[in-house]
Structure 1
Amino acid sequence: MKFAVINGETILLHADTYERIPAWRLLAAQGKIRCPGCGDALTLIAGISADPYFLHTTVTHCPLQGAEQPSETAEAVHTVSSLPSEEAAAAVELGSFRLPQRRPISQTMAESAMPRPGYRERLNPKRMIPAWTGRNDDCLHPEQQRAVHTTEGPLLILAGAGSGKTRVMTARCAHLIGEQGVDPRTIMVVTFTTKAAEELKQRLSAQLSRQQAQALVSGTFHSIFYRILTHHQPQRWAPHRLLKQNWQKRRLLLETGALHQAQQPDMKEAELEEVLAIISRWKNEYLLPADLSSLPFASDEEERARLLYPHYEEAKRHHGWFDFDDMLCGCYELLLREEEVRRRYQERIRYVMIDEFQDINRVQYETIKLLAAPQNNLCVVGDDDQSIYGFRGSSPAYILGFTKDYPDAKTITLEVNFRSRSTIVGLGYSLIGNNRARWKKELKSFHTDEGESFLFYPADEEEQASRMVDEILHQRASGASLSQFAVLFRTSESARPILERMMEADIPFRFIHEDEPFYEKQAVRWALGYLRLALNPDDAGAMREIMPTLYLAHEQWNALRSQSILDDKPLLAVLPRLPGLKGYQRQHLQKVGEILAAVPSCSPAQALELIYEDGRLRDYVKKRSREGAGQTRTRTSDDLQQLLAAAKRHATIPGFLAHVAAMTDKEKARRTSAPALGESVQVMSIHRAKGLEFDTVFLPDLVEGALPHEFALEELRSGSAKALEEERRLMYVAITRARRQLFIGIPRERFGRTTRISRFIGEMGR
């Protein structure tokens, strides 16, 4: 249904009113949008693949209920004409504070750096991909069969996205064992994940006996190398000596005095995490402490890592601990130094197959070369276009240089994409062709139908999330399974509004991440503490929360509480009268009290702006974040902007705080229960999505600084395109997860700042 009533006034959904959708969406959530026929409440569904429409929230006998079918995609792509802005309401003054201008709820966001586009638009690839015409009744096409039957000597299989590489690897193992009579115990298959190894064995069990499949030497690099280590040196590599978590490493460094020895006793947790990640990358490249003296360092964090690295290694060695990286280095050193051990494994392992070879690092590669020698029946399977783990030390240089290391290697390219529809294959191919460091491939699509790919341009990250959730609701109503939807993000900052909209809509989802929940982040807790104290000046928990931002030590809490009791006044009222304060401190605390007295009459967004600016919370957070490491500096400031974006959806501070409490409770319940499986939307980083596939994929925040990430753009400005090429590969991986539909969000504002459309859009489509 395209029309509804608000306070007796009829509203109509059409191209000239689409910019009012965010405002109408909020009014619908408050039950203020009604059906003109029966008067019942309507909800607004404004997704992506179809025109927006109003929908009855309950089944009624309203004659208009049958008019709720939306226009479908082919006829529904409009261009929105610019609307005259409504006049902003006059600025509101409270005491000595001038509040931000109160805007009508339907007013659009600030002008973006992008042109004003339509409600959505199709994205067609710059280069169309031909459909594969070589169909036959065989399970494998000719190039796949050639890969299966090429068993002797080094072999490079370039397996493009969706090209059936798991099928080829399974068939190759079955051919070696079933037709060539090779003992499965002499075949080693290394996969990127334990799940992939199990899947290969399950598929193999359908073609051979279960005993033969289980006899295969298979697993991840870590699992196989660790088995070798524990067989030969069980005491040195006992499982209880493994440092699994960063907090264990930090405790070791503190207890052994290693941080003091490295002249960094006050290193914060965020700094230590980044330093440990750098050390891990160096170890994966097999760069030992002695190798670092001649290396230039790109950042302060790398310099800290150089100082800490030898002391960390000595602390582990002296106390008998090891970490995951030591498993790789330890196995390499064992085989390199112990000739008899190396000879035994070389005699036993006759065939080696490596999956996801584009993600290999130096220490893994050097170890595999030792194991595969001297026969060199080494088959590596991968796609240089999907090398996305540079932060772990992996590099596409190994797959690109494989034929140089093995000049007699054969190369087979699997170019038929069986997964994605032709438009999606074309978008990925058009994009990745802009990378210079890659093997050239001529991709083809198995499917003749095109599939769907849309760009959509929401006002901000909040509306972007609402559009995605509405699209899921629209498709679920048409019978789609939730498990076939995935939301893939570059960084976790993109996930918060999407998760909130899904929780509000009671859509089951599965979300795996390492970050702490948004509303538990320190900067967010400070801002919320100010809001709670504004509503209740005697809120002890809120006062204790914000004391550091007022440069008050927690030791002053007792004095503040005592003063409040003596004067019989709220904590906030006696704050400026604390003993021992300097004049400028007393003035600032007095001002904070006046700000918080004005806050209850503000909207949540106006209140936060006052607290950030006049209350100087933003300055405090920036000062604290400058002491952090790397990306932490930016994230902390962005947390405040995200909170402000969330607040704009609420009319009152109590309502906003109630929303925060509800989201926090739901998040805690979700974390304490088993992860949702089966009928649930998958929400994950692009890195985690590698190897997976879904009918419909949403990619939020396709803007400069998000994807490609800002650090890649900084490197590009410094003259290096290496990081940008990895970002492009990451985008390619994201695109090729989609089988049928790809929806790309380009918010006009993100974290309160106007955006520029990602360069990747222009590279891949038109």
Structure 2
Amino acid sequence: MPDVVSPVPATNRPGLLDGLDPEQRAAASAPRGPVCVLAGAGTGKTRTITHRIAHLIRSGHVSAGQVLAVTFTARAAGEMRNRLRALGVEGAQALTFHAAARRQLRYFWPRVIGDRMWDLVEGKLRLVGQAAHRVGLGTEPEVLRDLASEIEWSKASLISPDDYVAAAAREHRDPPASPQQIAEVYRAYEKFKNAAQVLDFDDLLLHTTAALEEHGEVAREFRDRYRCFIVDEYQDVTPLQQRLLDAWLGGRDDLTVVGDANQTIYSFGGASPRSLLEFTRRFPEATVVRLERDYRSTPQVVELANKVIGAARNRPAGSRLRLIGQRPKGPEPRFAEFEDEPTEAAAVAARIRNLLDAGVPASEIAVLYRINAQSESFEQALSDADIPYLVRGGERFFDRREVRQAMASLRTASADPPGGDLVTAVRSVLARVGLTQQPPAGGAARERWDALLALVEVAEELAATVEGAGMPRYVAELEQRAAAQHPPTVEGVTLASLHAAKGLEWDAVFLVGLAEGTLPILHAEGDQNAIEEERRLFYVGVTRAREHLWLSWSLSRHPGGRRNRRRSRFLYGLIPEHHPDARPTRGQSAKAGTKPRCRICERPLLDTMDIKLGRCRKCPSNLDADLLDRLREWRGSRAKELKVPAFVVFTDATLVAIAEQRPTDERELVAISGIGPSKVARFGDDVLAVVNDEQA
């Protein structure tokens, strides 16, 4: 993709773009037309695109009502709306793909279908269970969840039941039953759903796309209304979402996309960075801006993040962002190994207690793990330490009993609001349902109090951004947040999976359970693309931390259990050499009196080939096949030039070792068994050039 474009003059409204850095300003003030913003983690992409929307509106290029901005989570859409409101923009639509499609489908349904719109079924497991029973499959909850996921992947990938078997083979799917059975379940599910006259979430996108593609008058009305489109997290679009976006555009090119291929972590659901990476192929005249200045994390966290993603294989050009830390220096990331999970969890809780005592708010601390089942030990440890916590993905904020009661009281009060400013009025109403001046000591009472206080903070935020906002406007804001599931911040340590943490950030992040079989997950083994997605997931976790970052793993699950776990391969090369849990360095085997050890599991190496590779043959190879091909091509050319057999340059085993370990300098190259100083002097620059070309 092209290099960063030069900044263009700011809008004639002084001040709007003054707080942006040169690259952000270039993106925000780019002319109408296709714009691609390659935005690394923490580089201010939401700030950039909201300023771009405000700039286009204030410059007269488009009216607020003609703007449709879409993203992937209700929280992100809510944040975008809040920022637009703070910039004085009212009327621009900022929604998730599904919320936008639902709104459009509800409007066009009577004209396209001629009847009332079918209801939306929020949980599809009952219908999937009926379909599974008809096909003769089990109906246990975990089986139904797996079947539902496969149906969702198919619909998001625009794959029909008739095409599923071939598509599953082509995409190397690992379905929970035979492909033929999955296709039958999928077909039966669609029949049961249509007979009940209900829609699932994917249907919202499918039917909206069909309405625009098949009904010219519907498409014309929509395209007359919306002229400017912004898509956030563009690396996560599915084929279905891209088709809907194309239907929205209708051949036009007033489109701004923002994304980071390094954060593609939803391919299991059909997401692909292809649309982002091929944007300039589709729009050759597009403006491309790269945002690499990281304002979120300390340089220490940024350096670690760059190492994590820099080890990725076969990175396409559009993903080669290297973050540049902009914050003052902070503490070094901490690594820790423990005998078992409870010990690890207790140590994390103790460290969190230290952070709380040092003044870090509980809501600015997160414990992140690969799978939800890992949360149990940490929930217990935090409870034992009397530390409040919230499990992200648990009970929804607006579904909590005390919040529902508070909302009912606020709705009633909005008809005849108490006196005083908005915040005082809200406090007065919430005092009737349990908001005291001082918080309770702890436990469930404190959790209820924190939830009510969070509603007050929404009022404070609204009063600060909307002049003269009163109780009716505040209640409308809460209703909108409830509908979008955009809850306010509640005090408590966050427990969340790495997938659920996408788009969030905290002052302190604990990445726990970093062991082989968990990260990368066991079922990714043998699939290099899946392994690389696991690496990107790890990268997402690292980049959630602003200042404090803790990385830990345990050698067994239970106290006294077998210590048969190995730390994640992704930690290799990250742990400082002086750290007590660091692996032996690559050159350690050359030291007098030491035995070469596996760089992954640390067991002694005895076999000559194992020593050459620097690992046991049973340990994951991490072989970069594309790099190996390039090394062989280089070796062949060099051998021909020198008129010697190819093995004289380097043996096959040495090339494999290089393709696995990917040395970045002469020190790391000479540390590979079989490569001495003379080989480095003769071929080192060439080899490193080949390796660095692969990692650029």
**Structure-2-length-normalised TM-score:** 0.63
Among 221, 237, 241, the residue aligned to 1:344: 221
What is residue 62 of structure 1 aligned with on the other side? none
* Structure-2 residue corresponding to 1:95: none
Aligned with residue 121 of structure 2, among 220, 223, 243: 243
* Residue aligned with 1:689, SS: coil
Change (3 A) 1:302 1:742: farther
Aligned equivalent of 2:155 = 283
Which residue number corresponds to residue 207 of structure 1? 87
- Cα distance change on mapping 1:415 and 1:341 into 2, 3 Å: same
- Asked whether 1:294 is paired with 2:166, we answer yes
Does residue 698 of the first structure (1) align with residue 510 of the second (2)?
yes
Which residue of 1 is the match for residue 589 of structure 2? Answer: none
Instruction: Read off the aligned partner of 2:228 and give its amino acid letter.
Output: Y
Structure 1 residue aligned with 2:141: 269
Alignment-derived partner of residue 292 in structure 2: 415
The equivalent position to 1:354 in structure 2, one of 223, 231, 240, is 231
2:245 counterpart (368, 382, 386): 368
The 3-state SS of whatever aligns with 1:335 is helix
Distance apart, 1:353 and its partner CA: 0.3
Q: Choose which of 534, 555, 576 in structure 2 pairs with 1:748.
A: 555
Contact 2:125–2:148 (CA<8 Å) still a contact in 1? no
Match of 2:10 in 1: none
1:231 CA drift (Å): 0.6
For 2:115 and 2:273, how far apart are their aligned partners in 1? Answer: 31
Give the letter for the 1:351 counterpart. C
1:353 is matched by which residue type in structure 2? I
Match of 1:443 among 311, 314, 323: 323
**Between 690-699 and 345-354, the greater mean CA deviation after superposition:** 345-354
For the residues of structure 1 that align with 2:492 and 2:63, how far apart are their CA atoms?
42
Deviation at residue 238 of structure 1 after TM alignment? 5.8
Query: How many Å separate the matches in 2 of 1:338 and 1:162?
Result: 42
**What is the CA-CA distance between 1:138 and the residue it aligns to?**
4.0
Query: Structure 1 residues 266 and 316, CA, compared in 2 at 3 Å: closer, same or farther?
Result: same
2:492 counterpart (680, 684, 688): 680
Aligned ranges 1:97-246 → 2 under 5 Å: 138-208=18-88, 212-213=89-90, 215-234=91-110, 241-246=119-124
Match of 2:524 among 680, 694, 712: 712
- SS of the aligned residue for 1:177 comes to helix
Amino acid at match of 1:698: F
Q: Counterparts of 1:266 and 1:190 in 2: how far apart (Å)?
A: 38
Structure 1: segments with no counterpart, 5+ residues:
1-135, 516-665
Instruction: Please give the alpha-carbon distance, in whole angstroms, between the structure 2 residues aligned to 1:160 and 1:385.
Output: 8
Tell me, yes or no, if the aligned pair for 2:38 and 2:288 is still in contact at 8 Å: yes
The residue type paired with residue 222 of structure 1 is H
Equivalences for residues 554-703 of structure 1 within 5 A: 678-703=490-515
Q: Secondary structure at the match of 1:703?
A: coil
Q: How does 1:57-76 map to 2 (within 5 A)?
A: none
Counterpart of 2:123, as a letter, is Q
**Equivalent of residue 760 in structure 1, options 570, 582, 588:** 570
- Give deviations 1:193-214, integer Å, cap 9, x for gaps: 2222222222222222xxx42x
For 1:282, what is the secondary structure of its paired residue?
helix
2:308 to 431, 446, 458: 431
1:618-642: CA deviation from partner (whole Å, max 9, x where unpaired): xxxxxxxxxxxxxxxxxxxxxxxxx
Contact kept, 8 Å, 1:149 with 1:175, in 2: the verdict is yes
The secondary structure found in structure 2 opposite 1:744 is strand
| Secondary structure of 1:688 counterpart | coil
The amino acid across from 1:738 in the alignment is A
Counterpart amino acid of residue 312 in structure 1: Y
| Secondary structure of 1:301's aligned partner | coil
Match of 2:534 in 1: 727
1:401 pairs with 2:401 = no
**Residue 393 of structure 2 contacts residue 500 of structure 2 at CA under 8 Å; is this kept in 1?**
no
Q: Matched residues in 2 for 1:668 and 1:273: separation?
A: 35
Task: Quote the offset at 1:388 in angstroms.
Answer: 1.1
- The one-letter code sitting in structure 2 at the alignment partner of 1:498 is F
Q: Deviations over 1:22-67 (max 9, x none)?
A: xxxxxxxxxxxxxxxxxxxxxxxxxxxxxxxxxxxxxxxxxxxxxx
User: Within 5 A, what are the aligned runs for 1:36-47?
Assistant: none
- Please state if 1:306 is matched with 2:183: yes
* Rg larger for: 1
Residue type of the alignment partner of 1:321: V
Alpha-carbon contact 1:458-1:747 (below 8 Å) kept:
yes
Q: Deviations over 1:193-251 (max 9, x none)?
A: 2222222222222222xxx42x112200000011111111157896772221144424x
Residue aligned with 2:500, SS: helix
Q: Please, which of 293, 296, 315 is the counterpart of residue 192 of structure 2? A: 315
**Using a 3 Å threshold, how does the CA distance of structure 1 residues 302 and 332 change in structure 2: closer, same or farther?**
farther
Tell me, what secondary structure is at the counterpart of 2:571? helix
Deviation by residue 1:259-305 (Cα, 9 ceiling, x = unmatched): 454x3264333212211110111100111112224332644535232
Distance 1:765 1:342, change over 3 A: farther
SS of 1:690's equivalent in the other structure is coil
CA distance in 2, matches of 1:231, 1:305: 34
Report the secondary structure of 1:452's partner residue. coil
Question: In the TM superposition, what is the alpha-carbon distance from 1:686 to its structure 2 partner?
Answer: 1.2
Distance 2:379 2:491 in 1: 16
Q: Using a 3 Å threshold, how does the CA distance of structure 1 residues 385 and 266 change in structure 2: closer, same or farther?
A: closer
Q: Tell me the distance in 2 between the aligned counterparts of 1:239 and 1:473.
A: 52
Deviation of the 1:425 alpha carbon: 0.6
> What's the CA shift string for 1:507-564, capped at 9, x where partnerless?
111113369xxxxxxxxxxxxxxxxxxxxxxxxxxxxxxxxxxxxxxxxxxxxxxxxx
**Residues 707/240 of structure 1: CA separation in 2 closer, same or farther (3 Å cut):** same
User: In 1, are the aligned partners of 2:450 and 2:490 still within 8 Å (CA)?
Assistant: no
User: In 1, distance between residues paired with 2:150 and 2:309?
Assistant: 28
Report the count of equivalent residues. 466
Determine the C-alpha separation between the residues in 2 that align with 1:672 and 1:199. Answer: 24
Which amino acid is 2:99 matched to?
Answer: S
Contact 1:236–1:320 (CA under 8 A) maintained in structure 2: no
Hey, what's the Cα distance between the residues in 2 that align with 1:381 and 1:483?
A: 28
For residues 136-194 of structure 1, the C-alpha deviation after alignment (integer angstroms, 9 at most, x for no partner) is 99411111111011132211101100001111011101101112352111111002222
| CA RMSD of superposed structures (Å) | 2.7
In structure 2, what is the Cα distance between the partners aligned to 1:344 and 1:284? 26
Instruction: State whether residues 346 and 374 of structure 1, in contact with CA within 8 Å, keep that contact through their aligned partners in structure 2.
Output: no
The alignment partner of 2:199 has SS state of coil
CA contact (8 A) 1:430 1:765 kept: no
Describe the superposition over 1:9-32 as per-residue Cα deviations: whole angstroms up to 9, x where unpaired: xxxxxxxxxxxxxxxxxxxxxxxx
Seen in structure 2, the aligned counterparts of structure 1 residues 288 and 237 have a Cα distance that, compared at 3 Å, is farther
Q: Give 1:689 shift.
A: 1.2
Deviation at 1:404, TM superposition (A): 2.3
Residue 593 (structure 1) aligns with:
none
Displacement, 1:411?
A: 1.5
Aligned-partner Cα distance in 2 for 1:432–1:341: 45
